[in-house]
Structure 1
Amino acid sequence: MKNYFPLILLAVLLLNCSSDSDSSEDIPTESMYFPPISGNVWETKSMSELGWNESEVQPLLTFLEEKHTKGFIILVNGRIVMENYFNGHTATSPWYWASAGKTLTTATIGIAQQEGLLNINDKVSDYLGTGWTSAPLAKENLITNKHLLSMTSGLDDGMGNGNSPAELQYLADAGTRWAYHNVFEKLQDVIADATNQSFDAYFTSKLKSKIGMTGTWLAVDEFNVYWSTTRSTARFGLLSLNKGKWNSEIIVPEAYMMEAISPSQSLNNAYGYLWWLNGKANYRLPQTQLQFPGSLIPNAAADMVCGLGKNDQKIYVIPSKKMVVIRLGEVADGENFALSDFDNQLWAKINAVID
């Protein structure tokens, strides 16, 4: 009888070696990097290390410049891979976030809720008192903080963008209609009431200073708009990528952060708590009650979430790629409230570089 033991032993050894080489545990995973809270130090990562197609970088940069971009950053695992400025803008120049800054209010609400100062399921009138709208009292009392976070207040978005009681009129019961509306800013008043300090003071102490952001809130056409450098915008994108944690410190509770970047209601699956969500079966857009089939930005990753601001201010967070992309600048093409054709065009150019 032949001795098969050496052959069996060899097969087992080969199988073990194969298993070891395929084990995900043996593949080094680069840790998430967070820049220091102060100073200009920020680690970088080269495109060659990432295996990116560097021949496609110049077409991307040309496109960005032609589309009136001011600042552009790509982070991977927190490290800067691309950082470019155009059209007279510099690393120290501030620019407005427009509605991409809604996400700052979302985060601050989550912090205040974690501290037990408010609850998103409470009525807005619990904090602002009755009469903050011109809706009948019974209808006003239906509106919760969560309805403001999810754009389902039921208030008439056709009355303009002001937030005086006369401009906040009843159209539908809260939770029954999705409509993009600047009434979300009332959440900043809720925070001020709940914390016994100004929204800006609470935001600065609990969020801005914790992650080393610079910038300021400025009143523009009666609205509170955030202005900062492109790097400060990227810091917030990095915090969001890391589920609300900066290094080992929890800034925004992870459970709340994950809730914020999930569908917040069934009327517009592509909307969380003031965050836009890619990869859903359909979506709605500002200024219309139409529902559109397909993904918000088809060329981008399905798990991408976005802070989208008027005239193409963009915060893109892509968990599957450990990536943050920031674009600030003038409007790329025609004026828009959030999404535009520019998003899909930009991601076609980015994909040519990173894929």
Structure 2
Amino acid sequence: MRKIKLFLGIALVGIITAAYFNYPKLNLMSGFASKNMASSVFIADREPVDVSLYDNDIPLVNLSDCAVSEADESATATVYGLMPRTAVYKEGIGAVLTNKEFSKHNFELIPNRFVTMDSLPFPYGNNGVMDTVLENVDYDKLEVAFSNAFKDPEQKTRTLLVVYKNQIIGERYIRGFSEDTKILGWSMTKSVLSTLYGILEYQGKMKMDFKPFSDEIRMKSPKHNITIDHLLRMQSGLAWDENYFKISDATRMLFLDSDMTLAQRNKDVIAAPTEVWNYSSGTTNLLSGILREQFNTHQEYLDFPYKTLIDKIGMHSMLLETDLTGNYVLSSYGWATTRDWAKFGILYLNNGDWNGERIFSETWVDYVAEPTEHSNGTYGAHFWLNAEGKYVDIPTDLYSVNGFQGQRIFIIPSKDLVVVRTGLEEQTDEQFNTLLKEIIQSIR
């Protein structure tokens, strides 16, 4: 009996200890589950059961139970009945996680959309795709590349699209997905943010040497030396912990903060600008907040991405989600169909020219694809690079738009190629190298 009591006592202590250290994580676990569920159901029109089985099947997050209310357009998640978190969908701005401050905010302001219907095929319109067969494309070889990308269920590829010389030469979707399904780009949205700064620069309203903290010189803060360029290149010197598998700066910001632009802004300086390179979602949301400061009204800020970029190039499926205070969460929360993500890549392939209309300067492409110091040739200005040959069989002029779980837009100027891959599993450099190599080899 004593042994049993001792065993039960030890077990109880273990349970209490585990609960003590893991209880704070419940907020993040149920927060992720409810936010992802609400967005997937009400933005992407996905079935809740599929979202639970696949999208929320992430370690710890998969311990959550999630219920959807169609009437309230919301999703509520708990972990073993504890720590309920609710995300509510608002037309035009996506799903927001509620908290004690939720009632203080109104969501009356939404972006105006600038949708124009035309008879042009992809990419310059939305009236189908060109069915021209290109003589220098070996479609049998291309089919092998597609088959290899989808044959391993563990790779969890969902969609794959290949554009050559502005024309779709290959496109495939798994069951439940189509050319109309909106895909969460996660950090691919960071490159959208960067492009908005490129547009401001082209309009003569922003320079990359602008110092957003210049007024802090009076407070003797070292932040006053930080420029937009430093922020776009993730080398501001501000402290940040980007980790999605524990309680970190990134997870606290995404699942606890009402105003996500403040998380990075309030961090201490740990190095002078350019001394270190540190990837930070907080930096992108700080840039979103700085972007908002460039406009006289909140409405102008909300309209700007759609008016000057998204709807301008016909990415009409795209939706950018905001935080509770109305800031675009451009670190992570951009949704669009695979074809519309491809349009974004095509805009860069064509050096900022969209069917005869210039969106940003041609030199902007050179800027974002210039390697950032201390990134080992892998990062530019909110774009990823192959400058040091990370993908060994692929031209080094490749640059890409990257997101969590292997979301990618690969832009290869020397091959006139844009490749979009979306999925639920991050791929290794070797896997991406093989995919791109097989696609390139299909073009003579």
In structure 1, what is the Cα distance between the partners aligned to 2:213 and 2:174?
45
Counterpart residue number, 2:347: 239
Q: Provide the secondary structure at the position in 1 that maps to 2:271.
A: coil
Q: Provide the secondary structure at the position in 1 that maps to 2:405.
A: coil
Counterpart residue number, 1:151: 234
Instruction: From the superposition, tell whether residues 197 and 275 of structure 1 become closer, same or farther in structure 2 (CA, over 3 Å).
Output: farther
Q: CA deviation at 1:86?
A: 1.2
Q: Runs (4+) of structure 1 moved beyond 6 Å?
A: none
Q: Provide the secondary structure at the position in 2 that maps to 1:195.
A: coil
Counterpart residue number, 1:187: 287
In structure 2, what is the Cα distance between the partners aligned to 1:80 and 1:325?
10
Deviations 1:139-165 (A, max 9, x none): 111211111111101112236223525
In structure 1, what is the Cα distance between the partners aligned to 2:145 and 2:420?
18
Residue of structure 2 aligned with 1:42, choices 129, 135, 139: 129
Letter in 1 for 2:122: P
Q: CA deviation at 1:176?
A: 0.7
Letter in 1 for 2:296: N
Counterpart residue number, 1:256: 364
Q: Provide the secondary structure at the position in 2 that maps to 1:317.
A: strand
Report if the CA contact (8 A) 2:202-2:361 is conserved: yes
Letter in 2 for 1:211: I
TM-score, with structure 2 as normaliser: 0.61
Report if the CA contact (8 A) 1:195-1:202 is conserved: no
Instruction: From the superposition, tell whether residues 108 and 252 of structure 1 become closer, same or farther in structure 2 (CA, over 3 Å).
Output: same
Q: CA deviation at 1:196?
A: 2.8
Q: CA deviation at 1:323?
A: 0.9
Residue 140 (str. 1) matches residue 223 (str. 2):
yes
Q: CA deviation at 1:59?
A: 5.2
Q: Provide the secondary structure at the position in 2 that maps to 1:328.
A: strand
Report if the CA contact (8 A) 1:70-1:88 is conserved: no
Q: CA RMSD in A?
A: 2.7
Q: Provide the secondary structure at the position in 1 that maps to 2:418.
A: strand
In structure 1, what is the Cα distance between the partners aligned to 2:121 and 2:209?
33
Identity of aligned residues (%): 24
Instruction: From the superposition, tell whether residues 349 and 226 of structure 1 become closer, same or farther in structure 2 (CA, over 3 Å).
Output: same
Letter in 1 for 2:223: E
Q: CA deviation at 1:65?
A: 5.0
Instruction: From the superposition, tell whether residues 248 and 352 of structure 1 become closer, same or farther in structure 2 (CA, over 3 Å).
Output: closer
Q: Which moved more, 1:256-265 or 1:341-350?
A: 341-350
Residue of structure 2 aligned with 1:230, choices 338, 343, 346: 338
Matches within 5 A, 1:9-88: 35=122, 37-46=124-133, 49-52=135-138, 54-55=140-141, 57-58=143-144, 60-64=146-150, 66=152, 67-88=155-176
Letter in 2 for 1:186: L
Instruction: From the superposition, tell whether residues 231 and 319 of structure 1 become closer, same or farther in structure 2 (CA, over 3 Å).
Output: same
Report if the CA contact (8 A) 1:73-1:326 is conserved: yes
In structure 1, what is the Cα distance between the partners aligned to 2:434 and 2:203?
42
Unaligned ranges ≥5, structure 2: 1-119, 242-247, 254-261
Counterpart residue number, 2:309: 207
In structure 2, what is the Cα distance between the partners aligned to 1:347 and 1:211?
26
Q: Provide the secondary structure at the position in 1 that maps to 2:307.
A: helix
In structure 1, what is the Cα distance between the partners aligned to 2:311 and 2:182?
17
Letter in 1 for 2:133: S
Instruction: From the superposition, tell whether residues 257 and 324 of structure 1 become closer, same or farther in structure 2 (CA, over 3 Å).
Output: same
Deviations 1:205-238 (A, max 9, x none): 0011110002101258994411000010011110
Matched length? 297
Counterpart residue number, 2:200: 112
Report if the CA contact (8 A) 2:187-2:403 is conserved: yes
In structure 2, what is the Cα distance between the partners aligned to 1:200 and 1:312?
28
Q: CA deviation at 1:123?
A: 1.1
TM-score, with structure 1 as normaliser: 0.75
Instruction: From the superposition, tell whether residues 238 and 160 of structure 1 become closer, same or farther in structure 2 (CA, over 3 Å).
Output: same
Unaligned ranges ≥5, structure 1: 1-32, 281-294, 334-338
Counterpart residue number, 1:283: none
Counterpart residue number, 2:434: 345
Report if the CA contact (8 A) 2:377-2:386 is conserved: no
Deviations 1:12-55 (A, max 9, x none): xxxxxxxxxxxxxxxxxxxxx983654333324436x2242614
Letter in 2 for 1:278: N
Q: CA deviation at 1:239?
A: 0.4
Report if the CA contact (8 A) 2:150-2:157 is conserved: yes
Instruction: From the superposition, tell whether residues 55 and 349 of structure 1 become closer, same or farther in structure 2 (CA, over 3 Å).
Output: closer
Q: CA deviation at 1:244?
A: 0.6
Matches within 5 A, 1:291-302: 295-302=389-396
Instruction: From the superposition, tell whether residues 332 and 242 of structure 1 become closer, same or farther in structure 2 (CA, over 3 Å).
Output: same
Q: Which moved more, 1:56-65 or 1:116-125?
A: 56-65
Q: CA deviation at 1:268?
A: 3.6
Residue 99 (str. 1) matches residue 199 (str. 2):
no
